Structure 1
Amino acid sequence: MKKTLLTSLLALIIMVTLTSCGSVQVVADYDKAVNFDNFKTFAFYKPGIDKAEINDLDKRRILRAIENELTSKGFIKSENPDLLVSIIASSREKIDVYNNYYGGYGAGWGWNPYYYGNYNNNVSSTTEGALYIDLIDAKKKELVWQGQGVGYLNSNMEQKEERIKQFVKEIMAVYPPTPKK
């Protein structure tokens, strides 16, 4: 009975952990004085993109995903844009150590001749990434909107592109901002 309960609890914790790893936590900030309806065209801001400290393959994946999201919102890529798009990306290795104890009958009540127990240490390593998408007013050269997404990254190459698309899609879902009344 106790092992079944413990196994069920462990399965629930793993399920919650795995589903939370799939989501991207998104926050956005913007200039409330800006009318975002005036922006119709965009271009990528090369000096900003060149500073992003990620490999060129991932940069291209991110830029393609941003371009797809903006064009799906009705924006047109232009040589004379209203908005300049820049990115900042970072990642860090996150190491978690879990100490698990499975005890037998009477555990925790002092000495027991029938006592048994088992200690397990589990170590897991994941990569957490952050992606910032900056939208800059091309005429004023001022940042008008910034979206940030934080979540876990896949090292599996087949899933990497899909994960990047998910990051960008969830960040761009909050653009244009809708001011609260």
Structure 2
Amino acid sequence: MIFRHLLLLCFILTISACQSTKSNSDYDTKYDFSQLKSFHFIETPDQGDQLSAERIRANIRTTLIAKGFTEQAEQSDFLISYAFLTKDKPKSSGLSIGLGTGTSGSHGGVGVGTSMGIPIGSDSAKIQVIQVDMIDTKENRLIWRGTDEFDFEAGGDEKVAETSKTINQILALFPPQPKS
């Protein structure tokens, strides 16, 4: 009986460790998002990574246009601001815990063991955190904010794909849908 509980606990911990992050958003619950049709980008300060800034901006533009919004500099309905941060994330230590059972003749037993892996190469990965803000142009106030993050080991094609995926996940929450 105890073995079953230990096995179930290990299974739950393994599943929860494998789950990815989920995009988050917050918004003005009294705002009428159905009135929004056009957008314009606010110039963002240089954040030291021009490639990431250009990728994020291009993905926001593409995603919003695919949702039916239009980009226009004059008299747009909402403004877009975005920010990103790249930070180090410690790699896992490689520590693992295992459970086992066995029988020998009429005797049975349960064993618990651990192992420790040694990371090869860099001892940290990178995380890119992206935040997208939507600002009402008439009232000049924040009406929606979405955030998400992704891990990456290197730039190039991998980072391009992860940036696109992350922006799509963030903007899947915009505009917020009224609860029925």
Query: What's the TM-score once normalised by structure 1's chain length?
Result: 0.72
- For 1:99 and 1:71, the matched residues in 2 are separated by 45
Identity %: 24
Q: Which residue of 1 aligns with 2:41?
A: 44
The list of structure 1 runs, each at least 4 consecutive aligned residues, that deviate by more than 6 angstroms after superposition, is: none
Q: Which residue of 1 aligns with 2:94?
A: 98
From the superposition, tell whether residues 143 and 157 of structure 1 become closer, same or farther in structure 2 (CA, over 3 Å): same
Q: Which residue of 1 aligns with 2:60?
A: 66
Count, aligned residues = 152
SS of alignment partner, residue 23 of structure 2:
strand
SS of alignment partner, residue 166 of structure 1:
helix
Q: Which residue of 2 aligns with 1:126?
A: 125
- For 2:143 and 2:116, the matched residues in 1 are separated by 50
Q: Deviation of residue 67 (structure 1)?
A: 0.2
Query: What's the TM-score once normalised by structure 2's chain length?
Result: 0.72
- Paired residue type of 1:84: L
* Residue ranges of structure 2 left out of the alignment (5+ in a row): 1-9, 99-112
Matches within 5 A, 1:3-22: 17=18, 20=19
Structure 2 residue 159 is matched with structure 1 residue 165: no
More helix by percentage = 1
Q: Which residue of 2 aligns with 1:29?
A: 26
Q: Deviation of residue 32 (structure 1)?
A: 0.9
- For 1:77 and 1:118, the matched residues in 2 are separated by 56
